[in-house]
Chains A and B, each alone.
Chain A
Amino acid sequence: MTDTATTRGTSKREKREQAGPYGAVGKVVGELDERLGIAKGRALLDKIFPDHWSFMLGEIALYSFVILLATGVFLTLYYVPSQEEVIYHGVYGPLRGMHVTQAYASTVDLSFSVRGGLLMRQMHHWACNIFIGAMVIHMARVFFTGAFRKPRELNWSIGVTLMTLAILNGFVGYSLPDDLVSGTGLRIGFSILLSVPLVGTYLSFFVFGGNFPGTAVIPRFFIIHVLLLPLVILGMIGAHMGLLAKQQHTQFPGKGRTEKNVVGTPMFPTFIAKATGFFFMTTGVTALLGALVAINPIWIYGPYDASKISYAVQPDWYMGWLDGAARIMPAWEFSSFGHTWPLNIFVPAVLFPGLIFGLCYAWPALERRRHGDNELHNLLDNPRDVPHRTAAGAAVLALLFTVFVASSTDVLANFFHLKLDTVLWAMRFLVIIIPVVVYPLTFKVCQELAELSDAGKRKRAMIVSRTAEGEYVAVEADVHPEDGEHEADALPVPTFIEGLSDDAAKTAAPSNGVRQVDR
């Protein structure tokens, strides 16, 4: 017994010695390195990430996409992508006996009869809203800080593409339950395709497999929504992240920060811990929203019937700007030489988003050309220092927000007890006035802010201390460890206080060596 124990103990110790100072981990690293050369990947662990709250906006988008994939897979297990008509026999009483499509019936069933189904559906819808919302804010951050400048123009273009694909996939997914509201959205989508000059009818018939509604659109949209677009989005997110790693993250200027370095926290363990924690928090918040805030209750809307319509027809918010543009567009439709130009549809629904996204794609090149700037930029701009860019961005955002508001002309008219055409005409003017006002206003604010050298910076204190001899010494406080980039210079301690007369100062001069100041 004693012998075996000793032998075992020895062999354990021997093993430990053989394994080297890093034990089992060292052994695994060694084995993997022999085969894959992973030790060279150490640089990845040492990678430095600059810290700033605004750099997490893209992360929210990324994590929401992961949530979309996870909840989406769950939904595909129960959803039936078919427009075949069935009679509803499920648990939801008010619908029983109605003629509905399988798509609708299966969506209602997975909401009410599948364990956790309603939660998953609502989380999916919420995650989509968060996904696109985070993308919008992330894109604005990248724009206003000039992060899109050389060498990152390609990554900006990938980002713009991701935005269009996300909006598109949002619309396609929204259509799948085949309820009264989404079906109306599909009808509008068909009419928009139809409005394209020259090829519109072919385009719409090929997408829908015939005249609206046909029987092909739900199965087709299903495969587009769950395979085609997610695959493209996933690939482009991969490229987006790959380029980010290759080109390294931008950082705000600050002490010790240059175009040639990155200052921040290391990938392992700090950044990984914070990022993973943030992923959990994003998922947690999405779960809370899915649990507590109802979204898209299709059983209340009812199944799609092309001859019926609900009063409140509004798309998801990220389609609102197009809907609003369609509402306020004048009724311009021209006929010439036996052909119709439905400009009242084509301009707001095709040309307008085309121009907006086209402008986004072209912006880095436009700015490069305008300033003749061919330098590499790794330090971010403070928006106020680039007033023309900031003003342009603000004007475009203001335009988009105004057309977004225009998508609720009827709600506004009801709420403010105004006539609908008053609201409509107001929106038609505002959509031009607001951007025209916002541009110079933003420009002016930027200029004035730029003149205040300390605006937006954290104040740095002077620490005044008394030595044992009774002498006062003023010492600058340490730079705050995280926000070194936004620190104002510490101001010297004033030696006199305005408003005090010399006499007062003299009389205040004390005998005990401490100067007293009357307040």
Chain B
Amino acid sequence: MSHDEAHASITTVSIDDVRMQPKAKNPVRTERWIAFWLFIGILGVAGFGAAYWVDANPWVIGTSLGIGLSAIGYGLTAWGKYLMPQGPFVEERHQLGSSQEERDAMAAALVERGGSVFKRRKLLGGLLGGGLGIFGVVAIFPLLRSLGPLPGKTLEETNWKRGSKLVYQDGRQVHVGDVAIGGIATVFPKGFERTTEGQAVDQTVIIRIAEGDFVTQPGRETWGPKGYVAYSKLCTHLGCPVGLYEQQLQLLVCPCHQSMFDVKNGGLPQFGPAPRPLPQLALYVDSDGYLRAQGGYHEPVGPGYWERS
């Protein structure tokens, strides 16, 4: 059997040709093998129906479905591979491109017919183009503008104000005796502890360090009464909550990209991709022993953006 014989077009081959015959050496045995798998497939999909009917465990429903479909699929593929015409057949590729004359005719139609219409009526063409162009541009504005409010100053503000009471997420106020030395808690300005805005923007972490055990930044000497320091919980890298506290090294760690901030030293980034310290919130203890904010944050919290100065 030479190669010229082996490759023939399927359109010229009769149904009795050797190339139309199955590839399997022993078609009877192959057929039995395929029949076996198709039978397993029938059992599988029927089992799937039954399992679904009786509301069996999801894994039972899925396993019967998976076995059923896989077996049917295997049987069908094997049928195609071993018992259907394999050829090899050859098909001439049709030429994609056209003749030069046809290309010229196409270009001529575009240039001449189109040209006769548009070139002679340049004014109309210009006006039409202008109209559609302007519509395209102006249509973008209402479409975009309706998508959301302008950023304005929202990214610079939080709900922390002078005198804001520190509360836990359940609304309890933070008392100066609540947190042991080395302890940590997440707090919100009172009134915002259950709002998405409070959770997303105002979230603040307080840590109690042994008094005298931390270096405050110049000008922040009064910000940490009784060893309490408060930092924005938004990582300055990508805004994840800085949710892990390494008590030994006194580092706040962001689990997203492993930025670390030095709790004792003004929240300065020690490691990772965060570029700026965590903004610190100035605290004081009121006459009843509850913690309050001296004022809002002095800089925008969270990740960097173009308008941030």
Contacts and interface: CB of A to CB of B under 8 A. Distances in A.
A48 B303 contact: no
Interface stretch (A20-28, A192-200, A362-370, A389-397): A192-200
Interface stretch (B108-116, B145-153, B207-215): B145-153
A187 interface: yes
A221 interface: no
B77 A195 contact: no
A205 B256 contact: no
A270 B58 contact: no
A338 interface: yes
Contact of A191 (B61, B269, B302, B306): B302
A143 interface: no
A194 B209 CA distance: 34
Contact of B91 (A47, A212, A214, A313): A47
B61 A378 contact: no
Contact of A188 (B79, B197, B240, B269): B240
17 contacts: A46-B91, A201-B307, A208-B148, A216-B148, A263-B88, A273-B84, A274-B81, A277-B80, A280-B73, A281-B69, A287-B63, A291-B65, A292-B63, A327-B272, A331-B269, A340-B306, A342-B275
B196 interface: yes
Contacts of B171: none
Interface of B: 1, 3-4, 6-7, 10-11, 23, 52, 55, 58-63, 65-81, 84-94, 96, 144, 147-151, 154-155, 169, 186, 188, 194, 196-197, 199-201, 203, 233, 237-241, 243-244, 255-259, 269, 271-276, 302-309
Interface in A309-355: 309-313, 323, 326-333, 335, 338-342, 344-345
Most buried by A among B59, B237, B304: B304
Nearest to B53: A115
Contacts of B241: 306-309
A107 interface: no
Interface in A114-164: 115-119, 122-123, 151
A262 B305 CA distance: 55
The 5 closest A-B CB pairs, nearest first, are: A291-B62, A280-B73, A284-B70, A273-B80, A277-B76
A206 B145 CA distance: 8
A334 B275 CA distance: 9
A505 interface: no
Interface in A92-123: 99, 115-119, 122-123
Contacts of A282: 73
A248 B93 contact: yes
A202 B77 contact: no
Given A191-B239, A326-B238, A277 B74 contact: yes
A270 B76 CA distance: 10
